[in-house]
Amino acid sequence: MESAFIIEKSVFIVVIFAFTMIMAMYSTWAERKVAAFLQDRVGPNRAGWGGLLQPLADGMKLFAKEEFEPNTKNRFLFFVGPAIAMSTALMTSAVIPWGDKLHIFGRDVILQATDIDVSLLYIFGIVSVGVYGIMIGGWASNNKFSLMGAVRAASQMVSYEVAMGLSIIALLMMTGTLSLKQICIDQPGMHWNVFYQPLSFLIFLICAFAETNRTPFDLAECESELIGGYHTEYSSMKMGFYLFAEYANMFISSTLISVLFFGGYNYPGMAWAVEHWGVNIANVIGIGALFVKLCFFIFFFMWIRWTIPRFRYDQLMNLGWKILIPLSIANIIITGICILAFK
């Protein structure tokens, strides 16, 4: 392996890491702004222009807060919980194709940290490990409310992962690959998968809401019954890690939805742009296109939050097991029939 390759990849990884962190940070700001705007308020506007320094202030506050620990039997697990939640949230961005390639210093720089054949499986694997962060944190808190919150979050995530995986299978049957890069290449221009697999998209979207523990499925946090859910006993930056991981997950889910169903970095006229304006400009616009798409989905997550009231727990389980899973299986069968009929 040549050293230039290693440098290229490390720089890229650092950039992606920083980008994920900044996106997660500014998601918190966007969340408060969107929440405020949807409720006819103006939101944070004191720290910096339009409150743009608010996430920095929040981060500083979390760092400066007193580190409180419950009298728990297992301090190690108490520390490991938020660490797992945070690292799994950050690891998924490694296989996202942010663009096709750039041509810098006479080299082709692939805009993806690593293009593994099973990147979709990799993401699903990492996301399921994320459940451990919540479960371990709730368990190690030595608090029944935390444990109940963790059990709720974990069972919800586990049951929606099934429907999520099944909804993706229909898509895989169509694209015939697990590599996100290939899936991106297969939907040039406006040939987005969402037009061929609307049901799969809908199921995936609903499951993404459940996976990230967001409204209407935010049952893990519940002031009236469970106080703060699994992070009740956490304070300072450990608490910050859990909240941060949630926003990083939201960012990754939005990116994944844009890549799987909305063409990723593709935009109409990309081939023309490559021909006439060169690879670099065309791909920078491509990154911009992906950014716009994922920002829309982050906004959509927040928009839904202020529109739909939360589910009751039995309704949540009914929706997951009795509706979404049969629906995604039906989708697989329909897709199979269509593939047989049209190819």
Partner 1 sequence: MSTSIQNISLSGNKKQVSNKEMTFLERLYLIAIVKGLWITIKHFFKKKATIHYPEQVRPFSPVYRGRHMLKRDEQGRENCTACGLCALSCPAEAITMKAAERKPGEEHLYREEKYAEIYEINMLRCIFCGLCEEACPKDAIYLTISKELVPAQYHREDFIFGKDKLVMPLEMAMANTKKLN
**Alpha carbon distance 154, 113 (integer Å):** 29
Binding mask 41-60 for partner 1 (x = CB under 8 A): xx--x---------------
- Residue 195 interacting with partner 1 (CB under 8 A): no
CB of 35 to partner 1, least distance (A): 11
Stretch that binds partner 1, among 39-47, 133-141, 227-235, 249-257 (CB under 8 A): 39-47
Side-chain-facing half-sphere of 252: CA atoms under 13 Å: 29
* Distance of closest approach, residue 197 Cβ to partner 1, in angstroms: 16
CB of 326 vs partner 1, minimal distance in Å: 14
Cβ proximity to partner 1: between 124 and 300 the closer is 300
- Using CA atoms of 291, 294, 297, 298 in order, give the dihedral in degrees to the nearest 10: -80
Return the closest-CA partner of residue 140 out of 57, 83, 79: 79
Tell me which residues in 129-188 interact with partner 1 (CB under 8 A). none
Whether the CB-CB separation of 53 and 47 falls below 8 Å is answered with yes
Q: Is 332 helix (H, G, I), strand (E, B) or coil?
A: helix
User: How many whole angstroms separate alpha carbon 142 and alpha carbon 79?
Assistant: 13
Considering the complex, what minimum distance in angstroms separates the CB of residue 265 from partner 1? 27
Say if CB 263 and CB 190 are below 8 A apart.
Answer: yes
The mark string for 295-324 relative to partner 1 (x by CB under 8 A, - otherwise) is: --------xx-xxx----------------
Q: Which residues pair with 108 in a beta bridge?
A: 103
Stretch that binds partner 1, among 33-41, 190-198, 207-215, 277-285 (CB under 8 A): 33-41
> Closest CB to partner 1 among 234 and 311?
311
> Shortest gap between Cβ of 306 and partner 1 (angstroms)?
6
DSSP string, 240-273: HHHHHHHHHHHHHHHHHHHHHHS-TT--TTHHHH
Rank residues 36 and 173 by Cβ distance to partner 1 and give the closer one: 36
Footprint of partner 1 on this chain (CB under 8 A)?
34, 37-42, 45, 303-304, 306-308
